[in-house]
Amino acid sequence: MTITSLPSSDGQELTIVIAGRFDFGAHQAFRNAYERVSSTPKSYVIDLKDTTYLDSSALGMLLLLRDHAGGDSAQIRLLNCKPDVRKILAISNFEQLFQIA
């Protein structure tokens, strides 16, 4: 599992790329990815194109990010979900909280 965070050039958007398993082991790295950035982005993109697996702990981490990003006013998009990952997001009805594509 590797987590990379890439601020956009104007600092308005932060892209977090998660490769491998997104589970409890990613807890600290995922937090660091949005807490240890110098800018305060307006929106977030979670790029899941190389994410092979996502468990309920990861759903919890996404909720923590949502809170960090302003709760109900947070702008977070989950991009490039593979079918397995999308299924887990769908079962939990997370499309009610995040933009999922």
Partner 1 sequence: MPERLSILIAEDSAADRMLLSTIVSRQGHRVLTASNGLEALALFEQERPHLVLMDALMPVMDGFEAARRIKQSAGEALVPIIFLTSLSEGEALVRCLEAGGDDFLAKPYNRIILDAKIKAMDRLRRLQETVLQQRDLIAKHNEHLLNEQRVAKAVFDKVAHTGCLEAPNIRYLQSPYAVFNGDLLLAAYKPSGGMHVLLGDFTGHGLPAAIGAMPLAEVFYGMTAKGYGLTDILRELNAKLKHILPRGVFCCAALLNISFQRQEVEVWNGGLPDGYLLRQDGSRTALISRHLPLGVLEPALFNDACEVYPLALGDRVFLLSDGVLEACNAQQELFGEARLLRVLDASAGSLQLFDEIQQALHDFSGQPQDDVSLVEVCLVEERQLNRPPLAFADTGQSHLLDWSASFEFRGETLRYFNPLPFLMQLLLEVQGLRPQGGALYTVLAELYSNALEHGVLGLDSALKQNAEGFAEYYRQRSERLQQLCEGHVRFHLQLLPEGAGGRLLITVEDSGKGFDAQSLIQREMRLDRLSGRGLALIRQLSERCSAAADGQGIRVEFSWSPDA
Q: Which residues bind partner 1 (CB under 8 A)?
A: 24, 52-53, 55-57, 59-61, 63-64, 67, 84, 87-88, 90-94, 96-97
Residues 29 and 57: beta-carbon distance below 8 Å: no
Between 6 and 91, name the residue whose CB sits nearer to partner 1: 91
For the chain, helix (H) and strand (E) counts, in that order, are 3, 6
Between 50 and 55, name the residue whose CB sits nearer to partner 1: 55
Q: Which amino acid is at 7?
A: P
**At its nearest, how many Å lie between partner 1 and the CB of residue 13?**
23
**At its nearest, how many Å lie between partner 1 and the CB of residue 9?**
31
Between 6 and 64, name the residue whose CB sits nearer to partner 1: 64
- Give the rounded distance of the alpha carbon of 74 from its chain centre: 12
Residues 58 and 81: beta-carbon distance below 8 Å: no
